[in-house]
């Protein structure tokens, strides 16, 4: 069937996500409608380099009573209020076939990206971002020896539920495959069984050739707006070479990842000249015996902002009851991000 590019840019249609097996409704014609919804004032806040009241700053007492060391680089500690606990027994609850639960052991850690209270990733140097990449990789290696799934992620901004502005991320590890990981495992395995190739390697080759959704790239990595994106400025980060897990990244790949993150996240902030909120996370192959050659390491970035620094995309109504929907197409989003400068607006 012949492709019609105007169809994607002008008419309502559904796009398929081969990683999850789910669909998203795209309604590009709705970008022309007037906006009469919520409007908020942009709050421009410059944080101090050190906050004596912050429980993540060096030397300060944390909420749980422990005291941080006077750390000078990336710092990792076990969350004082973990959602997962290591000593949970594998107890099962089966009162009925419809009432089923089981215990899951795990652990949660916090990664303070920098001792600076006021520096988010795009305002850190490439060398400092490389330190964060190394911390991600080390946590992936260490916890991967004990747990089936290691979820490295960051919630940036108060509207993403971040409870402390000090730049930090988290690592949750557990002895189970979470829902989103299970979907990706199933669909990547099925694609590889059918084609003999990893799904995301084929997808990256296709996107680089088309180039319309690529935002930033270098010798080791590509950041693109996926064809099936749900969030307005959603990004997918992919290494150019075959890598299964974070801790398997080689030195040069870690350097180029730090460079790509610096350039991509600077564009995020420059888009609305604000600290751009998002939830991001890494997906790599599960940590268990077996053949996982169908996997390819990748990161998802899910930012909620749509029209400005204050106008957000909400998943309500149709999205909650039927399927995800978006107006701004991934191609339009990629084009807007691509044209933005590498220099952060605070430094311009």
Structure tokens given for 208: 């680089």
What sign results for the dihedral spanned by CA atoms 189, 281, 202, 10? positive
Q: How far, in Å, CA of 54 to CA of 117, rounded?
A: 8
- Strand ranges (E), the chain: 13-17, 22-26, 75-78, 92-96, 99-102, 106-112, 149-156, 168-174, 214-217, 221-224, 235-239, 278-283, 298-302, 324-326
Q: How far, in Å, CA of 22 to CA of 16, rounded?
A: 6
Catalytic residue among 168, 187, 294, 298: 168
Phi, psi dihedral angles at 69 (to 5 degrees):
-70, 170
- For the question of residue 346 being annotated catalytic, the response is no
CB-based burial, 66-77: b 16+ in 10 Å, e otherwise: eebeeeeebbbb
Catalytic residues: 168
């Amino acid at each position: 069937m012949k492709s019609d590019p105007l169809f994607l840019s002008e008419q309502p249609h559904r796009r398929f996500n081969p990683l999850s097996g789910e669909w998203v409704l795209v309604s590009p014609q709705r970008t022309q409608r007037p906006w009469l919804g919520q409007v908020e004032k942009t709050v421009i806040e410059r944080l101090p380099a050190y906050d004596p009241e912050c429980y993540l700053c060096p030397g300060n007492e944390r909420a749980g009573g422990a005291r941080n060391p006077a750390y000078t680089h990336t710092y990792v500690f076990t969350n004082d209020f973990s959602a997962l606990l290591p000593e949970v027994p594998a107890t099962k609850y089966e009162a009925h076939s419809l009432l089923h639960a089981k215990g899951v052991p795990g652990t949660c850690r916090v990664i303070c990206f920098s001792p600076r209270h006021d520096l988010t990733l795009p305002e850190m140097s490439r060398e400092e971002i490389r330190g964060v990449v190394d911390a991600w990789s080390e946590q992936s290696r260490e916890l991967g020896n004990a747990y089936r799934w290691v979820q490295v992620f960051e919630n940036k901004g108060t509207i993403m539920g971040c409870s402390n502005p000090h730049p930090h991320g988290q690592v949750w590890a557990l002895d189970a495959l979470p829902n989103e990981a299970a979907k990706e495992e199933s669909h990547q395995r099925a694609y590889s069984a059918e084609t003999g190739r990893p799904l995301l390697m084929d997808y990256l080759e296709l996107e680089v050739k088309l180039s319309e959704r690529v935002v930033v790239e270098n010798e080791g990595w590509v950041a693109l707006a996926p064809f099936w994106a749900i969030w307005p400025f959603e990004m997918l980060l992919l290494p150019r070479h075959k890598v299964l897990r974070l801790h398997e990244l080689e030195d040069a790949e870690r350097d180029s990842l730090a460079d790509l993150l610096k350039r991509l996240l600077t564009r995020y902030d420059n888009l609305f000249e604000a600290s751009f909120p998002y939830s991001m996370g890494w997906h790599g192959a599960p940590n268990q015996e077996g053949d996982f050659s169908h996997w390819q390491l990748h990161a998802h970035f899910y930012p909620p902002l749509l029209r400005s620094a204050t106008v957000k995309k909400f998943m309500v109504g149709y999205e909650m009851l039927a399927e995800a929907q978006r107006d701004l197409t991934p191609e339009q989003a990629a084009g807007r991000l691509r044209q933005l400068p590498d220099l952060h607006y605070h430094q311009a």
